[in-house]
Amino acid sequence: MIRKTFKTLSPVRIYLGVLVSVALMASGLLGTSVAHAETAPLDTQEVAETLTDITNISGSTADELAVLDNVADVPTDLTGDSAIDETINGVELTIPVDPSDPLTLGSATSPAVEIGLPYAANASDAEVVDNGVVVYDNQNGSATVPVVKNDGSVQITTIIAGPRSPNRYSYSLGLPAGGSLTVIDGGAVLAVDKAGKFILGIAPAWARDAAGRTVPTYYEVEGDIVTQVVSHSAVKGVEYPVVADPFLGIALFDKVTKKTVSGKGFRITAKLSWWGETMERAGYVTPVGIGGLAVMATTGWDEVKSKQPSVNKTTMYQQYICHVNFGWGLPLGDTWDFESWSGTHSLSWWHSHRCNDQ
């Protein structure tokens, strides 16, 4: 079994076996060319063996490289149309077996969105890497690897095998009528409905090579298509494989719990999801009218209420807005408390009291 090792390794380690094969082919030891290596089918057994054998690799420890942290331990198989069909943290999601079928995300507060995968027409059907993770070989020197997280988000990792692999990876989003995509400060992309309400988000683009170095990347948005451009072939000294991804999320909170406090009332505790942290750090309202904090102030509050309806009190909303506006500046961390027994005050008062009426 590879479970324990799998949960702690970076995505670069998954394809270390592929990297070794490419290096050997380039040297002629395997009697083939780098171009062939970039289009050779992926061997998931080799992937599993590499995960088992490798315990350390040098490189960046940035959060975005922790692709295999907090992977959802959900049933993953190829017997039906969906390799994964689960509800996680209130998010209903499906990962298809056939890459030409869409990946879907939706929740009680957000309509289902269908996401078309890059190079799906020629890609092979899904292969199971582990629970919560499948791989599609794009047959062009790249692979698409959706990774389902415990908070209901999906990190659609792209593995780029060599310099002849594509530089562009496009994802079509089936938005509701009147919906649109907006790039906000920091590079994240928001999908909103015709009223401007948050539907789904894509975290800022990133890419790293096998040595952990940053590879230039950014998003292009045209209509309902988001394209991640990874300029790996234009950069000298890139070590392959390159790992990149769009990180899609709906749930802004991992969990929202309620605890009775004797003689006072009750306390609601809301823990931000990775995506919620990303939105909170994304900044204020942009000129087009929406930003990360605007999402947290509206959709975030709706999500908290849907998970704990008793939170719907004026003072608790004031405490929540204080956390949204000042939480990272104080800082207050990723867990926010709202007490039912607190009074009502101005936002400046809450700020001066660190969002706490104690």
Residues 6+ apart with CB under 8 A from 95: 76, 82, 83, 84, 85, 103, 126, 134, 146, 148, 154
302, burial (CB in 10 Å: exposed 0-12, middle 13-18, buried 19+)? middle
Higher pLDDT, 41 or 298: 298
Q: What is the pLDDT of residues 81-95, one digit of tens each?
A: 999 999 998 899 999
Of the segments 24-33, 96-105, 328-337, 340-349, which one has the largest average pLDDT value?
96-105
pLDDT tens-digit readout, 22-78: 333 333 333 333 333 454 555 665 444 332 332 233 333 345 556 777 789 999 999
Q: Which residue has the tokens 């490798």?
A: 54
**pLDDT band at 1, cuts 50/70/90?**
very low
Please count the residues of the chain. Answer: 358
pLDDT of 188 over the 80 cut: yes
Residue type for 210, please?
A
The yes-or-no verdict on residue 211 having pLDDT over 70 is yes
Whole-angstrom distance, CA of residue 132 vs CA of residue 72: 5
Q: Does the predicted model carry a pTM greater than 0.85?
A: no
Query: What is the b/e burial string over 97-132, where b = at least 16 CB atoms within 10 angstroms of the residue's CB?
Result: bebebbbbbbbebbbbbebbbbbbeebeebbbbbbb
Burial class (CB in 10 A: 0-12, 13-18, 19+), 151: buried
- Give the model's confidence band at 320: pLDDT under 50 very low, under 70 low, under 90 confident, else very high: very high
Q: What is the pLDDT of residue 71?
A: 85
Q: CA distances (Å), 182 to each of 206, 286, 297, in order?
A: 18, 10, 18
Residue 346 pLDDT greater than 60, yes or no: yes
pLDDT of residue 313: 87
- Of the chain, the percentage scoring pLDDT greater than 90 comes to 37
pLDDT at position 43 is 60
Judged by average pLDDT, the poorest of 208-212, 296-300, 316-320 is 208-212
Over residues 210-239, the mean pLDDT reads 90
Residue 332 confidence (pLDDT): 53
Is the CA virtual torsion 236, 237, 243, 245 positive or negative? negative
100-109, 151-160, 223-232: range with highest mean pLDDT: 223-232
What rounded mean pLDDT belongs to the chain?
Answer: 78
* pLDDT for 154: 92
Nearest to 155 by CA among 146, 164, 165: 146
Arithmetic mean of pLDDT, 329-338: 72
Q: Which two tokens stand for residue 55?
A: 């315990």
CB 158 within 8 A of CB 228: yes
Decide if pLDDT at 283 tops 80.
Answer: no
C-alpha to C-alpha distance for 51 and 226, rounded to whole angstroms: 31
User: Which position has the higher pLDDT, 315 or 70?
Assistant: 315
| pLDDT of amino acid 284 | 54
| Confidence band for 281, pLDDT divided at 50, 70 and 90 | confident
Domain ranges for the chain, please list them: 70-249, 253-352
> Taking a C-beta distance cutoff of 8 angstroms, is the pair 154, 148 a contact?
yes
Rounded Cα gap, residues 354 and 333, in angstroms: 12
Place of tokens 């190829």: 78
Helices vs strands, H then E, count in the chain: 10, 20
Whole-angstrom distance, CA of residue 291 vs CA of residue 324: 12
